[in-house]
Structure 1
C-alpha cells in the first residue's frame, strides 16, 4: 500500500527468463508515463519496493516466485562488522569525490567492468547507447561517487537522491569498478562509502535494490546490518551480523 493516496497507471510485462535465477521466469510491474509521474512519486514508490532503470520504474511481479526483496539500511543504526572495519582500514589510502556531473571516462571503466565481471549478464556486450539509456533519467539527477587510487579512477557509484518535502533517501542505483582491484572488494567498499557519506548528509535510509538469497551477486547485501527487507508489503527488520 502506498503511504499517500495517489492514482498511478501501471502495466505488467510478459514473462521472460529471469536474469538472476536460471530456473525461473520474471515479470515486471511498470509505471506508465514515468517522465510525468516518477519525479513526484518516486519516494513513495521506492518505499513500496519499486526501483528505476534509466527512465523506467519497475517492481518484480512474478507469478511463481517472490525471491526479490527490496533491502534498505537505516543509516544512523548501521554498525560495521569487524571485516568491514578491516576493509575500510585496508582501503584508507583511496580518495573519494562526489559530483553531479557525469564524466566521459566513466564509460571505459563501466565497459571493462561488464566485460570482465558480468559477461554472463544482460548488459553484455556493452555499448554507449545501452550505457546511457541505463544510467540516464529525464526526471532524476543522480550523484556520482568516485573512488580514486591516487589519480586513477577505480570505482563509480551512481546514487539516486530522492526528496519528499524535508525528507531525503538515497538509493544505490549501480556501482562499477576496475576489476584489477578485486582484492580491494570495491563493491562492498562502495556501499560502506555511501553509508558514511549518507550519515554525514543526514540521510535516514540507503536502499540497496533487491536482495535474492540464492543469487551470489545479490545476496551479499545482508552483510550490512541492521537492515530491513520489503516482504509481503511490509518492511521487516533483520540483523544477520555474525
Structure 2
C-alpha cells in the first residue's frame, strides 16, 4: 500500500447523517471519490434523492434513506435496513446539527429536550448501535461534527455550544471504550463555512470585514474544504488518531 492508497476508502460502507446538502454532502462526495459506498440520510426525501443522483452522476456509489434522526424507532429501523443491505458499516459521520438562536429564558423544558435529542442524544444512540456492528469486524471510524462554538459562547446561542461540547466529550469517551475493538472516534470542529444556509453572510460587507479581522486566512471556508479532514480521519491515513478534535476554521479560533 502506497502512502496515497492509505487515503482510499475502497469497499468501505459509510453513513453520513444530514448529508442532503452543506458540509454533510461534501463529506459524502469526498468519501465517494475515495471509493466508499455512502448512505446519506436526512429528513427530506426529495433533497436526498437529488443529492444521491448528483453523487452517482459524478461516478460515486451511493444510496439514501430518509428519517428524523431524533426519532429513535425510525433511526433503528433505518439502521437495520442498511445493515441488511450492506452487511456492515465501516464509517459513521454524525453531522446533523440544528441551531436555535434564542435566550435561554425563551425555551421551554420540552424545547430544550427536543433540541438536545437532535443535536446530542441521537448521535449517542446511533454511534452505540453502529459500533455494535463495527465490533464484529474489528474496524470502525466514528466521526462527529462539532464546532468552534463548542468552546466560544455567543449571546442568545445557549444550547448549541452545550450540545457541541457534549459531542466532544462523547468523542473522547468512545475513543477509550471502543479503541480496543479497532474503532477510532474523532471529531471535526468547523469554523465559518459558506454553505447554502449562510452563503449570503459570506458576501455581506460587514461580515467580510469581520472575517478579515478574525480569520487569518481572511475568508470563509468553502464547503468542499471540509472533505479532506473527514477523509483523513476515516481512512487508514488516520488510523492512529483517536479521541481528537481536528479544527477546520482557517485559524479563526486562535485569533483574539
Compute the TM-score of the two structures, normalised by the length of structure 2.
0.30
More strand by share: 1
Compute the TM-score of the two structures, normalised by the length of structure 1.
0.32
More helix by share: 2
